[in-house]
Amino acid sequence: MSRVLNLAVGSTRSLPGDLPGNLAQIAAFAEQAGKMGCDLLLTPEMSATGYGGYPEVLALAEEAGCGPVYAALSALAREHGLAILAGFVEASGPKRYLAHYAVFPDGTFVVQRKHRVTPREAPLDPAVELYFDETEDIGHVREGQEQFNFFEVKGVRCGIIICADLGIRSRNAVFERAGVELLLLPTGAGGTREERVTNQDLTSPEGQQRYYHQMQAACFPGEGILECIRQRRAMAAVNMVGYDGRNFYHGGQGSIVNRFGDVVGLIAGIPNIDRAAPRIAFGRIDFDEALEA
């Protein structure tokens, strides 16, 4: 089997509680990815339900594999012949987890729950019991308590880390033991209005300079490139885009990086909220390419 993956990352403008609108964006990306011959489409954290702990988001919670989000993703995966990864709220007894589906063309699926739920995501439940220290207001995961679910696409071992779970101190060791070759990183947290610009802002020299500096940060995948090189692991990451109509202004970044640190796919962030729109990027990674080459 060829271990060349064609990947797509799609930045959605997901609104809290707008399941039809959010799924329509994922469907449009799945169609484009299918036409491009992609094996996998990654969309942001909570892309199907909208981001945050709002009542209208919690109302969309479904048991894994038994709800409208799964049904829609399963149909899209089958129709377009690729794995589709999308964020949702998982219902499990009284718990409501911030979770991410990986749904495959044959209808099988994997669910990854977020460990380190942030204060802005309350009252969603963390995947494990957390402990707190003085370093930050997000809880930490005790070593050995990590709950990751791994899977393969065309023989490539994959693992999902949802946004703040990048802060799990033992995650690289866990992923190395599991032989993960592709890290899939859906994110969703947005910034503030003060961190964005508008068309009107761009009419002034001051606004133009703000935009320029914001774009410098928004165009680069960041220290994830170093991790790809050091861990010999590829990465696909994507964030939501635009104003959610409530509190958050999502940045819209996305990238696909191979094990050498090459950026093979990129969605530059969109600091201009008047220009924010869903976008998709594609990249190809050969996982059998010799690391010594």
Predicted confidence (pLDDT) per residue in 209-222, tens digit: 999 998 887 877 88
Paired tokens of 187: 């994110």
Q: Which residues contact 6 (CB under 8 A, 6 or more apart)?
A: 36, 37, 38, 39, 40, 282, 283, 284
Closest CA to 22 of 32, 33, 31, 11: 11
pLDDT value of residue 43? 98
Tens digit of each residue's pLDDT (9 = 90 or more) over 236-276? 999 999 999 999 999 999 999 999 999 999 999 999 999 99
Q: Count the neighbouring beta carbons within 10 Å of the beta carbon of residue 158.
A: 24
Residue 106: pLDDT over 70: yes
Backbone torsions φ then ψ of 106, nearest 5 degrees = -85, 5
Distance CA 26, CA 198 (A): 26
Domain at 4-286: CATH architecture: 4-Layer Sandwich (3.60)
User: What's the mean pLDDT in 225-230?
Assistant: 95
Q: Which residues contact 108 (CB under 8 A, 6 or more apart)?
A: none
Closest CA to 9 of 152, 141, 187: 187
Q: How confident is the model at residue 292 (pLDDT cuts 50, 70, 90)?
A: low
List the end-to-end C-alpha distance of the chain, in Å, as a whole number.
21
Backbone conformation region of residue 91, classed left if phi is above 0, alpha if psi is from -120 to 50, else beta = beta
Distance CA 8, CA 40 (A): 6
Q: How confident is the model at residue 194 (pLDDT cuts 50, 70, 90)?
A: confident
Tens digit of each residue's pLDDT (9 = 90 or more) over 39-88? 999 999 999 999 999 999 999 999 999 999 999 999 999 999 999 999 99
User: What's the mean pLDDT in 97-113?
Assistant: 98
Strand ranges (DSSP E) for 12-61?
40-42
pLDDT value of residue 2? 80
| Token pair 């207001």: residue | 137
pLDDT value of residue 177? 97
Backbone torsions φ then ψ of 211, nearest 5 degrees = -60, -45
pLDDT value of residue 190? 84
Residue 114: pLDDT over 90: yes
User: Residue 141, CB half-sphere, CA atoms under 13 Å: how many?
Assistant: 22
With contact defined as beta carbons under 8 Å apart, do 45 and 87 qualify? yes
Query: CA 64, 65, 66, 71 torsion: positive or negative?
Result: positive
**pTM for the model:** 0.97
Tens digit of each residue's pLDDT (9 = 90 or more) over 134-193? 888 899 999 999 999 999 999 999 999 999 999 999 999 999 999 999 999 999 978 888
Question: Domain limits of the chain?
Answer: 4-286
Give the angle subtended at the CA of 68 by the CAs of 161 and 116, to the nearest 5°: 25
With contact defined as beta carbons under 8 Å apart, do 42 and 188 qualify? no
